[in-house]
Structure 1
Amino acid sequence: MSEATEVKKVGQTPVSNSEAVKVANTSGTTPVDTSKSTDKKKKKKKKRTNISKIENYFPDGVYPEGEWMNYDQDFNLARTTDEEKRYLTRDLENQDHWNEVRKAAEIHRRVRKNVEGKIHPGMRLTEIADLIENTTRKYTDAEDLTKMDDPTSRGIGFPTGLSINDIAAHFTPNKGDKTILRYEDVMKVDFGVQVNGNIIDSAWTVSFDPQYDNLLTAVREATNTGIKEAGIDVRLTDIGEAIQEVMESYEVEINGDTYGVKPCRNLCGHNIGPWRIHGGKSVPIVKNGDITKMEEGEHFAIETFGSTGSGYVTTEGECSHYAVQDYDYDAPSLPSANKLLETINKSFGTLPFCRRYLDKIGEDEHEYALNYLVKQGYVQDYPPLVDIPGSYTAQYEHTILLHPNKKEIVSRGDDY
C-alpha cells in the first residue's frame, strides 16, 4: 500500500496564495492579482474518454477473428482434407453465432487495453471493479439495466473477480469494502462480456513485485499448453495431464523460500453455453481420468490456477457471487424475496451477478431477501475459493471455439 504524504521543511511556515502576492510586491511595483490564474491552473481539465458502444467502431457489424491454431493431434490431422470440408458448411451456418462471440471478445480486449497501466498499488478494489465494469457497460451499450428492454441481451458476463493472494477465485468487493491493492499482492483479474448470451471468459494476473514472475509464467504457460492440447475428440483428462506437467515444472522463490508451483486440483476450465458460464463439461488442470471428449462446435474457457500453497481450495469468507438456479416450484412465499427474484430474473437471467449489481439497480436493501432465496434453493451462492493462508495463487484464462478444421483462441490479445 502506498501512502501519500506531504513533506515540509523544518521551520517553514505555509504561505497562502494571497500572502505570496503581497510579499512579491514589496519592491514597489504595481500589485498583480495572480490568484485567478493560479485557480485556473489548479482546475484540471476533465479528460474525455473515447469509449462508446462497440458498434460505432465496426459499422459493418463484422468483428475481428481470434488467433487460429491447427489441431495437432494425430487423429485430427485429416481435418483439412476434402472429406472434412463438408463440415465447413455447418461452420458457415454458425457465422452469426461466431460473430457475436468475436464481438464480445473485441470488447474484452478493449476493456483490458483501457485498464492497462491504470491498476496500481494504493487503489481500492472497488475502484478497479468500477473501472472494468463501467468500461464494459459503455462498450456494450448497457450502462443502465433498468432502462433496457432486455437487460440480458448484452453487457457484463459475470462479476469482476479481483481475488488477492491465497484467494484464487470468486471474490469481488461488496458495497463498503475498503480493501486496498498493495505492492506485495498478487491479484487475479477475471471478467466476462456477453452478447446475446455468448460469453467471453478471460483472465490474467496482476503483480508488481518481480519475485512472483515465475509463478505467473508457470500459470500462463500452463494455460497456453491447455489451449494447444484442446481439440475435437480430445479427452479432458489428457488436457489436464499436459497442464499439470508444465505447471509443476516451475519453482518460485518468495522472500528467500522456494516453492514448487502446484495446480489447484479442484479448480478447472469449462465449456460455455448460451447465458450459461458453466455448460456442464469441466476441463481439469490435473490428470483425473475423465475420458469425456471435446466436441466440434463447442465453446470452452481454458483456465488454470497455480499456487504456492496446498493446491487445493476451500470456500471461505463473505460471499459476493450468486446465480439463479433451475427451479420448477412455486414462487417464494416471502414477498420481499419474491420481488427480488423477479428483479434478478429480469436483470440477469441465468448469468451470475453480485451484490453490487443489485445495489446499482436499486435493490440496496437486499441482504435478507437474498439470503432467503439462497436457503430456499432459488439462488446458488459462490463464496470465495481460498488456498492456505500465506500462499499465493495466479490465474490465466482464454476462451476458445472448436471449428471443424481449426480452433480459434477468440479472446487472444497483444497482452496475453
Structure 2
Amino acid sequence: MSSAAAEEMKNGAKKMEKEELSANVEAEDDEEEDEAGDGAQAVDAKKKRKKKKKKKTEAPLVPHTRPAQDNSALRLVSDWKTAETVQTDMEPTIPIRRMFPDGRYPVGQEVEYAGENAKRKSDAEMKAKEEEFDKELQNARRAAECHRQVRRYAQQFIRPGMPLLEICEKIEGKVEELIEANGLEAGKGFPTGVSLNNCAAHWTPQTGDTKTILKESDIMKVDFGVQVGGRIIDCAWSVAFDPKFDNLIKATQEGTRMGLKMAGIDARFSEIGESIQEVIESFEVELDGKVHRIKSIRNLNGHSIGPYRVHGGKSVPIVKTTESTKMEEGEFYAIETFCSTGKGYVVEDLDVSHYMKDADAPVVPLRLKGAKELLYAINTYFGSLAFCRRWLDNVGQTRHLMNLKNLVDNGIVTPYPPLCDQRGSFTSQMEHTLVLRPTYVVEDLDVSHYMKDADAPVVPLRLKGAKELLYAINTYFGSLAFCRRWLDYVGQTRHLMNLKNLVNNGIVTPYPPLCDQRGSFTSQIEHTLVLRPMCKKIISVGDDY
C-alpha cells in the first residue's frame, strides 16, 4: 500500500477514535444530568452542562509588499516584481480561495483583438451567456493564479543537482495545497512534465526514480497544469543555466508571443502557424562552435482545452499549413510552441508515463478483476484528466502495470509516450493559456426605437387600439424608424399596450439601446457615402469632420 493510502487509513482511524471519545463524553454528561435532575438540584445540574466550544476563526490576512524575486539563475526567465499581496513570502502557503474571499480572481493580461477580429455584436441572449461564462472564467482565473504562484515558487528551488522526481513532487504538492485539492472539483490538471534536452514533451519520472538528476548542461521543459471545475490551465516554460541556450529559449518565447498576438475570434489556424514559424526560424544558436538554424517542431501543436479535457479537439499549428479552421469565441486554447536544433520532428521514445482515459471510449466488458478495479480508481480520481503511473501508486494502485496494459489494449486508456527529436539535439518550449472572450454590446435600458418590418406578413389584429396604432404608423412613418415620443406627437398617447401587441405579432421590431459594460465610455463617428459608377463619394463630409 502506498504511503498516501496508509496515511488515509491512519486519519480514518483517528477520526473514529475521536467520534467514540465524543460519544462517551456525551453519555457521561447525560448520566450526570439524570442524577442531578432529582429534587432541587435540577437547576444546578443545568448549570453544570458543558458549553459548546466555539469554532476557531481564521486570523485575518494582512496585506503587505511581497519583495521582488531574482530569477537571474535561470536563463531568460524574468524576475517577479514587488507586489501588494496577502500571500506568504518565499514559499506560498495560503490557499488561493482564501486570498480572494469574494470569489473574484485576478484577470491576468487582457489583450484587444486585432484586425478583422475586433468586434462582434450579440443578440439579446448574450448577456445571460456572459453571466454563465463568467462562472467558468472565475474557475479558470483561480487555477491561473495558483499556476502563477506555484511556478514562482518552483523558480526559487529548481537548481542543478536536484532529482527530477523531487521537482515534480514539490510542484504537485504545492498545487494541491494552494488550490485546496478536492477530487475532481479542483486539483492537478495533468502530470508535471520535466522533459530534458532532445525530449520535448510528455516525460515525468516514475515512482522511486532518484537517479535522473538535473544537470547544469541540461535544458528542461517544465509543463504542469491546474484545474478548477474542469477548467484546465496549461502553461510551460524552459529551464536552463547555460547561456548557450538563450537563443533557443528566445525562439519559443517570441513564437508564443506571436501566437498569442494572432489569436482571436475567427483567426485562421493556418495564418497563426505561418506567423509562429516565421518568428521561430529567424533564430540561430551556436552550440560547441557549430551554428544551428532553429526549427519549429512541425508535428507538435498548441490545442484547444475543453472541460476536463486538456486536448479539446482543435490543434493550433506552429508551422505553415493549409488548415482553414477558425477560432471561435468562448474557446480556451493552450498556445504553445516547440523548437529544436535537430530535425524539427519528434517521435515516440522512452518509457510511457502519461496516460489518459478516452472519454469517448466504448463500453468494453473487462475480464480481469484487477483491470476493473484500476478503471474504477481512474474514474474516481482522474476521470478524463491525464494521469501518470506515479499517481496510480499514490492512490493505492501499486501493482497496476498488467491491468493498465489491459485497459490500453481495450481502447479505454490512451498512452502518451515521451516525444523526442534526434539524440544530441536540444528542444525548448513556451506555453500560455488564453480564453477568447466575446467583445460585444448588450441590449440594455428601456426600448425607445422601433421600426415597422416592411416584410412582415399580414396578421389579423383583434385589438381595436392596435389597428389604430398600425394605421398611424403606416401614415406617418411607413418603414422609417420611430420612437415612442413621436407616437405621442401624432396623438397616440396611450400606445404602450397596443405597441406591445404589434411587436408580439412580428409587425414592429424593437431596437433596444446597445451598451458596453457599466462605467465604460464609448464614442461614435459616422458618414454616408454613395458608390457612384466612376468613384465613391462621401456625401456627408464637412469642415468639422
Structures share a fold, TM > 0.5? yes
Of 323, 346, 349, which residue of structure 2 is paired with 1:316? 349
Residues 117, 267 of structure 2: 8 Å contact kept: no
Residues 1:171 and 2:171 are matched in the alignment = no
> Aligned partner of 1:303: which letter?
E
Could you tell which deviates more after superposition, 264-273 or 91-100?
91-100
Shift of 1:377: 1.2
Q: Distance in 2 between matches of 1:93 and 1:344?
A: 30
8 Å CA contact 1:88–1:405 kept in 2: the answer is no
Secondary structure of residue in 1 paired with 2:302:
strand
| Distance in 2, Cα, partners of 1:49 & 1:226 | 32
1:330-345 mapped onto 2 (5 Å cutoff) = 330-345=364-379
How far 1:88 moved relative to its partner?
6.2
CA deviation string 1:160-203 (max 9, x = no partner): 00000000000000113220000000000000000010000000
CA deviations 1:351-405 (Å, max 9, x no partner) are: 0000110111111111111111111211100110000000000000000010112
How far apart, in 1, do the equivalents of 2:294 and 2:166 lie? 30
Report what 1:374 is aligned to: 408
Larger Rg: 2
Which residue identity does 1:172 align to in structure 2? T
Instruction: Check 1:48–1:295 CA distance in 2 against 1; reply closer, same or farther (3 A cut).
Output: closer
**Structure 1 residue corresponding to 2:395, chosen from 335, 354, 361:** 361
Unaligned runs of 5+ in 1: 1-46, 143-147, 407-416
Instruction: Please say if 1:77 is aligned against 2:118.
Output: yes
**Structure 1, residues 51-84: CA drift from partner, whole Å, max 9, x if none?**
14221111111100020111112x22344xxx46
What stretches of structure 2 of length at least 5 have no aligned partner? 1-88, 441-545
Percent identity, aligned pairs only, is 50
Counterpart position of 2:161:
122
1:240: which partner in 2?
Answer: 273
Match among 115, 140, 144 for residue 101 of structure 1: 140
Match status 1:182 vs 2:254: no
- Written as runs of structure 1 = structure 2, the 5 A alignment for 1:127-166 is 127-142=166-181, 151-166=183-198
Superposition deviation, residue 49 in structure 1: 4.9
**2:306 and 2:332 in contact (8 A); partners too:** yes
Measured at CA, do residues 50 and 226 of structure 1 come closer, stay the same or move farther in structure 2, by a change above 3 Å? closer
Aligned residues: 349
Q: Which amino acid aligns with 2:415?
A: D
- Note if contact 1:248-1:261 (Cα within 8 Å) is conserved in structure 2: yes
Look up the SS of the partner of 2:216 in the other structure.
Answer: coil
Task: Name the residue aligned to 2:418.
Answer: 384
How does the TM-score come out when normalised to structure 2? 0.62
Secondary structure at the counterpart of residue 102 of structure 1: helix
Q: 1:412 matched to which residue of 2?
A: none
Q: Which of the numbers 238, 262, 271 marks the counterpart of 2:304?
A: 271
Cα distance in 2 for residues equivalent to 1:49 and 1:251: 37
Distance 2:122 2:117 in 1: 10
1:52 touches 1:141 (CA, 8 Å); kept in 2? no
TM-score by length of 1: 0.81
Is the 2:357–2:383 contact (alpha carbons within 8 Å) kept by the matching residues of 1?
Answer: yes
Alignment partner for residue 222 of structure 1, among 255, 267, 289? 255
Contact 1:314 1:386 in 2 (8 A): yes
Partners of 1:86 and 1:192 lie apart in 2 by 36
Letter in 1 for 2:148: R
The 1-side partners of 2:171 and 2:108 are apart by: 21
The equivalent position to 1:62 in structure 2, one of 87, 104, 122, is: 104
Separation (CA, whole Å) in 2 of partners of 1:50 and 1:67 = 22
Deviations 1:285-321 (A, max 9, x none): 0011100000011110000001000000000110000
Q: Which runs of 4+ in 1 moved over 6 A?
A: 85-88
Pick which of 130-139 and 54-63 moved more.
Answer: 54-63
